[in-house]
């Protein structure tokens, strides 16, 4: 069977060996019972896809998103920030209005070494 976009709609089922191989690639340590259950679940998904592939989708335009994307963030509104002294009061170590942090790439620590 060929769908409206020319994709073969007949889907082969997965064998136990296939499931074991994918589990190995995914570094999953599955028990024999888990492999049996997963084989059944994956084959059920493929059967459902096969049913969907029988539908005529020639009048349905391709979509990249199934729902519209929208920005749910608030507007970026400038506001007064904390005074430098209040911010530095929370720092374990500071010098000359700057945070002092351990060097991560080597070299001197502190503002004069940056």
Measured CA to CA, the distance from residue 45 to residue 18 in angstroms comes to 15
Higher pLDDT, 69 or 46: 46
Show the tokens assigned to 9.
């709609």
Measured CA to CA, the distance from residue 94 to residue 102 in angstroms comes to 12
What is the rounded average pLDDT for all residues in the chain? 84
Taking CA atoms, 24 is separated from 21, 30, 87, in Å, by 5, 9, 50
In the numeric block, the tokens 């769908």 are attached to 3
Q: What is the pLDDT of residue 109?
A: 54
Closest of 38, 45, 44 to residue 24, by C-alpha: 38
In this prediction, residue 47 has a pLDDT band, given cuts at 50, 70 and 90, of very high
Which tens digits make up the pLDDT trace of 61-100? 888 777 777 777 888 899 999 999 999 998 999 998 899 9
């Amino acid at each position: 069977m060929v769908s409206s976009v020319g994709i073969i709609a007949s889907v082969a089922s997965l064998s136990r060996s296939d499931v074991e191989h994918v589990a190995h690639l995914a570094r999953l340590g599955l028990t024999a019972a888990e492999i049996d259950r997963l084989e059944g679940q994956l084959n059920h998904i493929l059967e459902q896809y096969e049913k969907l592939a029988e539908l005529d989708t020639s009048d349905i335009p391709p979509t990249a998103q199934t729902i519209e994307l929208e920005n749910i963030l608030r507007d970026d509104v400038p506001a007064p920030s904390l005074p430098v002294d209040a911010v530095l009061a929370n720092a374990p170590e500071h010098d000359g209005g700057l945070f002092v942090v351990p060097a991560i790439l080597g070299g001197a620590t502190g503002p004069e070494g940056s």
